[in-house]
Chains A and B, each alone.
Chain A
């Protein structure tokens, strides 16, 4: 069905439901509980009868006991907007396997879970594609509903080619402003943006999104293997920096990386954002079915 996810994994994903602490605020019906009163089997409240109400919803028991007319109200199930921010910058194209490969697979898994749950899935790929075809495919990912759309969803997602320079903050802020109905926001990035990540995540949280941040780093980023006098070229900006790097500094590098990750984790923890840092060579099944479940992303 898809090159991104194995069929067996897809079957398992169908049993999963995204966890969310908030009621769905979408205007469209779905399978998520919402604060809107409507038609469902879940009793919500009573209210007095007014002329014109559907008599089928009268509470006959109360009428018998109190001799007054009350109407039974039910919760309306609405869809949960799931917004996936997929970092497709050039920096994500590194690693063996590349960071983008894992990010895309996670996006596909999250999207598939959402589609199976009758949720609205929207994938925001940044930076924007420069070619028209790529742009069209990315537009198609902006709004996907229903399990039947999953095939097209996977095809469009698989067609995304990473490249260009990303601005994480700008992408997240724009995403937060564009959506009228907030839901779950899943951010898939390496969080190695020179301009930081704080404004973007803050914007999502402030807009009311329930944010899940997944940082993906390649093994080479965690354990560099190139030593000596190096000229490092930034894949996105093209900036060159000269570095003298020896094995004795490996520990210092790793400590710096851990501090960077810890800073993100601390920031997210303070704002109720669920954060997870994973390696790009991590096993996808274990990650989806175990690590993200343990991280209370889904059940």
Chain B
């Protein structure tokens, strides 16, 4: 405790003055009484009133001296060194990503960060100073838990109610929100409470963000599964190949056991050695005789448990049934037959082929009366609903660009491909153009109402494309992209925080879906009017989610699988691209004045004395 105005202690000289007043005789009403015998016990503390007598215990004198002393101390402006925020607006961002579950802090990084955030709330100035604070939680989404307020109780409640998730960090979004909040607020600060396991912030280096990074985390002692994929054996449909990647971001080599379970039954186990700051990929070939869930466990007691388990939903593969409606195209038919290991191609002149249930319908220069409900590869055929009355013709269009990053155009090029004539129509809003001519799109792909469609605007036989090596590759990519089993398999094993969507394809009314989440809770999804699509957004917990809809029962799994979350190396700074890195910091110490408390205590004593005086003389 120090004093900002020590000169005010001169006021303490008034203390002897008060004592002097007490030493002087007080004016009393003189009254003659028959006898003072009955008054002996009421003799007040007055015998000390005679001048310069020894001061005896006198409660009122003590109270007045105490008041005066407190006032003098308050005038001297005592202060202590504590935590105090300076800016007018503080934005707190609490990282709630999976890596914050690491237990190297007590009890974990998230709680440590929460403690720091709460300490900052405590350091917030009084409401009278107008210092405001905002609480954000950066998990799967950036969520404003508490808007700008001076109320510490609200801020504490908002921070205490935050929960850590199994999701990767989406810090950039939170920082963008914070940037809008502190815009045009001079003196504002953004405090990030995180372990720094985030993508680099180069994407927001254009933001002038007054960022303060409060790091948590003490060590890096963690191995994790960062990748998992399942492939079927083309030769044996009952076999599965599980590709797993184990990452070891620690500087020491480790040897850990990996266990593969199928519906809680151990089907494979292996000891894996992973080098320091390295990763190792493992392949497990396992038999599968029924649909089920594969679970890969890293049996290692490390600081982060959430990345030690991966679940994969697996169904038995079945052949892709393709209905090729064509007037005859051997290039296309051959490409289709060799597109996938197990395809069943039926060639027909019209869509109404008897007894054919197709997963994919290929329309080769044929426009059916009833457009099929299956996924469609439409070649030189236009559904009237796509662009009513606006289909034209392009003569010898020149291919100027194609979207090579799209899965459909993987390993596919359009160099030296000439097209004699093509249909011209605008790309639907739900589709993305893949191949562009100078005037319009020649190939596009998209999904609407649960149906995937690839459209090729030109007749293959009126182009040189079937002669190029990229054509069969494109057909293979197209079959893979249109295969409903693959689509469903992709939906059934996803990442945390990614919403899972599916389409109800059953007949009749759409039933409500009940989703059992990994921790046992049940959430219901009520279908919207006129739609058969369901979206389950709350996939912040890793594990297997079981869906019950009508008579259908199926599962999907979500996993963390994020190498940045697995790497628990404490970060000393945050990289912000072109801007200088943000170093980890602590709350700045400041001088906290305490004169109000002394003044308040003095006022309280004054009230006590007032009450006492009136009680004595009332």
Which positions in A face B, CB cutoff 8 Å?
Answer: 90-92, 94-95, 99, 190, 192-194, 218, 221, 226-237, 239-249, 252-253, 256-257, 260
Tally B residues with Cβ within 8 Å of A: 26
Residues of A within 8 A of B616 (CB): 244, 246, 248-249
Does B26 sit within 8 A of A, measured CB to CB?
yes
Residues of B within 8 A of A91 (CB): 34-35
Residues of A within 8 A of B37 (CB): 192-194, 260
**Structural contact, B617 and A244, CB atoms closer than 8 A:** yes
Known A243-B42, A243-B44, A248-B616: A228·B36 in contact at CB below 8 Å: no
The answer for the CA separation of A249 and B618 in the assembled complex, in Å, is 10
Does B30 sit within 8 A of A, measured CB to CB?
yes
**Structural contact, B34 and A231, CB atoms closer than 8 A:** no
Partner of A192, one of B29, B32, B38: B38
Partner of B47, one of A218, A231, A242: A242
**Structural contact, B36 and A241, CB atoms closer than 8 A:** yes
- Interface majority SS (helix, strand, loop, mixed), chain B: mixed
Other A-B pairs, 6, CB within 8 Å; known A229-B28, A241-B39: A95-B34, A193-B37, A242-B49, A243-B43, A244-B42, A246-B618
Residues of A within 8 A of B42 (CB): 243-245, 249, 252-253
**Structural contact, B35 and A253, CB atoms closer than 8 A:** no
The answer for the CA separation of A291 and B94 in the assembled complex, in Å, is 90
Task: Give min CB distance, A89 to chain B, whole Å.
Answer: 9
Known A229-B26, A229-B28: A194·B35 in contact at CB below 8 Å: yes
Residues of A within 8 A of B289 (CB): none
**Structural contact, A246 and B46, CB atoms closer than 8 A:** no
Among all A-B residue pairs, the 3 with the closest Cβ atoms: A242-B46, A91-B34, A192-B35
- Residue in chain B with minimal CB distance to A236: B35
- Residue in chain B with minimal CB distance to A218: B34
- Interface majority SS (helix, strand, loop, mixed), chain A: mixed
**Structural contact, B31 and A233, CB atoms closer than 8 A:** yes
Task: Give min CB distance, B543 to chain A, whole Å.
Answer: 73
Known A232-B39, A241-B36, A256-B38: A226·B46 in contact at CB below 8 Å: no
Interface string of B605-618 (1 = CB under 8 A from A): 00000000001111
**Structural contact, B615 and A235, CB atoms closer than 8 A:** no
Q: A190, A252, A256: which has the most chain B beta carbons within 10 Å? A: A256
Residues of B within 8 A of A190 (CB): 34-35
Residues of B within 8 A of A240 (CB): 30
**Structural contact, B30 and A235, CB atoms closer than 8 A:** no
Q: B27, B29, B38, B47: which has the most chain A beta carbons within 10 Å? A: B38
The answer for the CA separation of A249 and B44 in the assembled complex, in Å, is 12
**Structural contact, B29 and A226, CB atoms closer than 8 A:** yes
The answer for the CA separation of A226 and B419 in the assembled complex, in Å, is 123
Residues of B within 8 A of A247 (CB): 618
**Structural contact, A231 and B615, CB atoms closer than 8 A:** no
**Structural contact, B49 and A234, CB atoms closer than 8 A:** no
Partner of B38, one of A92, A242, A260: A260
Interface string of B481-522 (1 = CB under 8 A from A): 000000000000000000000000000000000000000000
